[in-house]
């Protein structure tokens, strides 16, 4: 009989994981405490934008392999394997991760476990969490239930979540028994067969792989952005510098894109939680460099505001500013810690009249930043602008015809926060083109 899998927490990670598990052939029950989200998923509507996910979801609602609920008793009854995918955001006013949702999920699930089961943590957590949760499960699971915990961190990227879920570049299994390892190998048999390597290790290492991967990626981005600061001071070109570095295979070109820096629901909060946890463990010195990584990243945002102000003639009062992009990166509608919206809000606070356009993230942006103006197209956003800021590199912004666009604005000034537009094309159309870390023409 085929395995029955549950997925607890059906946000960006969980909804994709649930659909991915159904694609692998399992019967899947997704649970969320957000009844609206559950109703939406059950009706075949993905409550966020993720390419390819809607198709996968509707396919498996149709095959009958995928269902959703808000009822923990049903989940406990149903599942052989339970994946925990709830959020672990940054605590308000602190660096540490807020573990209340993970704790609540385990507390709610464990009393309903009914037979030998494996609970598998996928959320990103501070090292030591799994060991603590394993003890909690042992305390709360009904007597005689052979319930175990494993930690199987997730490395998917938003915008590529379906592909990354079905073809992960590695699987990490943090386990305390051969039986748990065997169960995970069974769950992921097709993925392993298709070539994804498996690393079997203890809880602590599995938890640390995840946060150290995100620390490395953040460091790579802040490294190139630090080089951008030096390039700017020296009149050099960070795009050419990055290209040249990337040809060295030991360095590699990926995640060397200089610009406005990293945002989103993962990298910023994960490096901060990592520093906080290292501090608790007495290893804070090991991660002091991450403070600098964070600081370099945040400086990108203020530098962008400065450049925009410069282009507005020294102040924002009475100036119209077009912001292209609201999502923290293209191919996503996620605006968590979005650098684009952070810059837009700073400029608005300083008296600028900001109009934002994004192909997918307008609804989310309107809810979180109701004070900004929004437009339904790049062209509408550009009407009468004194400066255009390109802050999220959606492909459609690269397609803009700078000649036609130039007729809409009050002044032809563009600041490219993602080094993704072609400076020659914009300059040839009469625009003043500025970018972070690139020389002026």
| Residues flagged as binding site for NAD(+) | 32, 37, 88, 124, 158, 269, 336
214 binds, among ligand NAD, ligand UPG, none (CB under 5 to 8 A by kind): ligand UPG
Q: Which is nearer to ligand NAD, 40 or 297 (CB)?
A: 40
Q: Which is nearer to ligand NAD, 38 or 375 (CB)?
A: 38
Under the binding rule (CB under 6 A), the answer on residue 268 touching ligand NAD is no
Measured from the Cβ of residue 140, the count of other Cβ atoms closer than 10 Å reads 17
> 66 — phi, psi (to 5°)?
-125, 125
Measured from the Cβ of residue 270, the count of other Cβ atoms closer than 10 Å reads 25
From CA 19, how far away is CA 63, in angstroms rounded? 11
Rounded to a whole number of angstroms, the minimum distance from the CB of residue 275 to ligand UPG is: 16
SS3 of the chain: helix, strand, coil, percent, to 5: 45, 15, 40
Under the binding rule (CB under 6 A), the answer on residue 333 touching ligand NAD is no
- Residues contacting 252, CB < 8 A, separation 6+: 246
Residue with tokens 């981005």: 221
Which residues are known to be catalytic?
A: 266
Rounded to a whole number of angstroms, the minimum distance from the CB of residue 109 to ligand NAD is: 8
From CA 195, how far away is CA 186, in angstroms rounded? 15
221 binds, among ligand UPG, ligand NAD, none (CB under 5 to 8 A by kind): ligand UPG
> Which residues inside 66-95 make contact with ligand NAD, applying CB under 6 A?
85-88
| Torsion angle of C-alpha atoms 264, 267, 269, 275, degrees rounded to 10 | -170
Under the binding rule (CB under 6 A), the answer on residue 266 touching ligand NAD is yes
Q: Out of 3, 7, 10, 261, name the contact with ligand NAD by CB under 6 A.
A: 10
Under the binding rule (CB under 6 A), the answer on residue 13 touching ligand NAD is yes
From CA 379, how far away is CA 401, in angstroms rounded? 10
Q: Which residue is nearest to ligand NAD (CB)?
A: 11
DSSP 301-316: HHHHHHHHHHHTTS--
Contact region for ligand NAD (CB under 6 A) — 10-18, 276-284, 309-317, 431-439? 10-18
Under the binding rule (CB under 6 A), the answer on residue 255 touching ligand NAD is no
Rounded to a whole number of angstroms, the minimum distance from the CB of residue 336 to ligand UPG is: 9
Q: Which is nearer to ligand UPG, 154 or 237 (CB)?
A: 154
User: 3-class DSSP state for residue 81?
Assistant: strand
Rounded to a whole number of angstroms, the minimum distance from the CB of residue 161 to ligand NAD is: 6
From CA 434, how far away is CA 412, in angstroms rounded? 11
Task: Check: CB of residue 103 under 8 Å from CB of residue 140.
Answer: no
Q: What is the DSSP letter of 142?
A: P
Q: Which is nearer to ligand UPG, 59 or 255 (CB)?
A: 255
Under the binding rule (CB under 6 A), the answer on residue 332 touching ligand NAD is no
Under the binding rule (CB under 6 A), the answer on residue 124 touching ligand NAD is yes
Task: Check: CB of residue 113 under 8 Å from CB of residue 74.
Answer: no
Contact region for ligand NAD (CB under 6 A) — 98-106, 134-142, 201-209, 350-358? 98-106
Residue ranges binding ligand NAD (CB under 6 A)? 8-14, 31-34, 37, 85-88, 101, 104-105, 108, 123-124, 154, 156, 158, 265-266
């Amino acid at each position: 009989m085929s395995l029955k899998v549950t997925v607890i927490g059906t946000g960006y990670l969980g909804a994709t994981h649930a659909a991915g598990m159904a694609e692998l052939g399992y019967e899947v029950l997704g649970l969320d405490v957000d009844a609206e989200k559950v109703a939406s998923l059950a009706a075949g509507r993905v409550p966020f934008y993720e390419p390819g996910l809607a198709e996968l979801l509707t396919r498996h609602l149709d095959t009958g392999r995928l269902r959703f609920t808000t009822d923990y008793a049903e989940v406990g009854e149903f599942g052989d394997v339970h994946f925990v995918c709830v959020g672990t955001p940054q605590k308000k006013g602190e660096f540490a991760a807020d573990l209340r949702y993970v704790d609540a999920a385990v507390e709610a699930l464990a009393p309903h476990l009914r037979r030998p089961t494996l609970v598998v943590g996928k959320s990103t957590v501070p090292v030591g969490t799994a060991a603590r949760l394993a003890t909690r499960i042992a305390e709360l699971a009904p007597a005689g239930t052979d319930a175990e915990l494993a930690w199987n961190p997730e490395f998917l990227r938003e915008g590529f979540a379906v592909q990354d879920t079905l073809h992960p570049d590695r699987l990490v299994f943090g386990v305390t028994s051969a039986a748990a390892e065997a169960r995970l190998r069974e769950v992921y048999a097709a993925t392993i067969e298709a070539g994804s390597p498996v690393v079997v290790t203890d809880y602590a290492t599995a938890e640390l792989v995840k946060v150290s991967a995100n620390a490395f990626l953040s460091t790579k981005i802040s490294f190139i952005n630090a080089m951008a600061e030096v390039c700017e001071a020296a009149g050099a070109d960070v795009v050419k510098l990055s290209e040249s570095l990337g040809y060295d295979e030991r360095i590699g070109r990926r995640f060397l894109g200089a610009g406005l820096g990293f945002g989103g629901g993962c990298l910023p909060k994960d490096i901060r939680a990592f520093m906080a946890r290292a501090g608790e463990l007495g290893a804070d010195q090991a991660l002091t460099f991450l403070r600098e990584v964070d600081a370099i990243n945040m400086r990108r945002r203020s530098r962008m505001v400065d450049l925009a102000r410069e282009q507005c003639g020294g102040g924002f009062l009475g100036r119209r500013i077009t912001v292209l992009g609201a999502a923290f990166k293209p191919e996503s509608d996620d605006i968590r810690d979005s650098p684009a919206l952070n810059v837009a809000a700073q400029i608005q606070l300083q008296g600028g009249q900001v109009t934002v356009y994004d192909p997918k993230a307008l609804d989310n942006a309107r809810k979180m930043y109701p004070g900004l103006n929004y437009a339904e197209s790049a062209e509408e956003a550009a009407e009468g602008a004194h400066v255009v800021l390109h802050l999220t590199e959606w492909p459609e912004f690269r397609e803009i015809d700078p000649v036609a666009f130039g007729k809409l604005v009050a002044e032809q000034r563009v600041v490219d926060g993602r080094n993704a537009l072609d400076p020659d094309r914009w300059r040839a159309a009469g625009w003043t083109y500025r970018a972070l870390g690139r020389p002026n023409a």
